[in-house]
Structure 1
Amino acid sequence: MRVTLKDIAEAAGVSVMTVSNVINGKSARVSAETVERVRRIIDERGYVPSASARSLAANQSRLVGLLVPAASEDSLAISPHNIAIIGQIERRLRKRGYHLLLRGVSDTAEIGEALRSWSLDGAVLLGFLDEEIAGLHRRVTGATPVLAIDSYAAGPLTTGVRSDDFTGARLAAAHLLSLGHRRIVFAGPSFTDVGVVHERFLGFQQAFEDIGLSIADCPVETLNTTHENGVALGRCWLGAHPDATAVFATADILAIGIIEGMLEAGIGVPDRVSVVGFDDLDISAYITPKLTTIAQDIVGKATHAVDRLLTLVEGGERSADPLVLDVRLVTRNSTAPPSSR
């Protein structure tokens, strides 16, 4: 049976209000003897304050929603990068005294319903396409703060946090170019004229322009960001790109799949083809060969996103611009000068 305030009050011979005051640190008018007795009984009975009761009293749920795309009714579209972000968001919320509610959304129209039905104090959007976010602020009404991570869409919801995707891809391509590669494949999901992948493509292109070259001879492989798709590309590499000596994949999980597929096909990495990823997931340092990649500040991205959202939840002002976090090149064993063969 759950121990209640009334149970503690009866055992201590005091009023429920007195017990409540002791629990909430408002014991200035309560004798030290009574405070000690109440606390001892609380410990003995194993009393735990009701989170729902506290939320009701404070007119806050202490719940923050993390809304992610749901590919179907029974699956969530969560990449390894986003899984890492989710873990850090939960950690930061817990430190700030909030709880995380993970909710899959198959249609952005459901977001408003999720905010209302769960009485969320705020919500973070993660993994949605920019075209989905662009008009979302017109449908999400009410006072519940909402903030998007990794978004380039225009609108107040997107003044969140993102990495410097342009610079990251520029660093990746510049690294390959400095090694002597010229025919480099750009591999990633389809993209429009706004968004993370678009920014990475622009950065990739800029690295060539920086040294007076064109990307005209650099093929673009359009494929969803999964390990399986990377393996499939790696297996058919020689047939699809016999003259390419390097590939920049827009995500580590895709790059890791490409390496696996190439090795299965007898293609040496980096002896025959160099591979660069983007994210610096932990697994990047564990595979063979270890993956050269662009490191994002995943901890910082999650921390700043939570702090920005809770500033709004607690009555602060919305930032006028998104926070852009620095990235860096991490050179490992999957890149080398092109083979003379």
Structure 2
Amino acid sequence: MRKLLNAALGACLAVAMTAGAANADAPGAAPHQRFDLGDFRLESGQVIEKGFLTYVTHGTLNEQRNNAILVLPSLMGTHHRHDFLIGPGKALDPGKYFIIAADTLGNGRAISPSNSETQPGPKFPQFSIRDMVDAQHRLVAEGLELDRLLAVVGLSMGGMQAYQWAASFPDEIAAVIPIVSMARTSPWVTAIWESQRQAIMADAAWAGGAYTEQPEKGLRAAAASLETWVRHWDWMDKEFTDNRQVVGWLNERTADAAKNWDANDFIYQTRAEDLHDIAKGGDYAEALARIQARALLMPGSQDLLHPPADSRFAARHIPRATLVEIDSDQGHMASGS
């Protein structure tokens, strides 16, 4: 899987380079940087007060200023989500590219319900994928003073943001690489997220989002559901020799989620996914056809969370799209970890 991802991404980035114009922090990791958004107005008209994004960079911007790549994490992921793709000889090689690994609205590092001083918890306004991208555009254009990106790369929800970049700023990116992602969220995906939100809200500790301690039981139930949906039965039935093993594995995974997740952040980010649609309710095929960037679409062949049918449809309508399916029995986790 990783070899396929590295090879496919590397090939796409090489083409874009020639064609384009103008979760824990390890010791020695790239230093965190912060970009202040101020009072950030959302597409709904609401305002996030004292907004900010956090990010790290790898590599050096070249003299032509045309080797910058923005990488965006999955749901509840951080700027470390793509670390397995970043490094010498890998697809995102700091020796070739200036890599901006950004945190997104609501992930607990950038401004979020969990860390807002003036709008904590349920007082935080609901944001969208489009709002995430508008904030990132401010970082790129104002904070880093870049007028064009070589590529935007993202896994899962990060891929949704990559699609939105291509739709919102068609003249400012050369390539877009959504991995196990969708250009609009389907009712199927929203139903999965809502089932997990309801699990959190059913915990008495949830307290309408105004909890003083995390609703651990609800979080663990939501995480158990998510861990199942991001896998595939072909992988799971081979991985575990008896049913007791899978129960133990789920208990370990959900305990980690309960330690690392914030319930409000999870709810807000999944609701941002619910709102995702690059066509804004209009003709989906036409919205895809307006994407000017080269597009490398990489769905998982057995992905249950983000089924590959959407990427196949997108590949038929984006003018310069290449479809590379990740043939894997790991479902959504075909994206790598």
- Asked if Structure 1 and Structure 2 have the same fold, meaning a TM-score greater than 0.5 normalized by the shorter chain, the answer is no
Larger Rg: 1
Alignment TM-score, normalising by the size of structure 2: 0.32
Q: Using CA pairs under 8 Å that are at least 6 residues apart, name the structure with larger relative contact order, 1 or 2.
A: 2
Alignment TM-score, normalising by the size of structure 1: 0.31
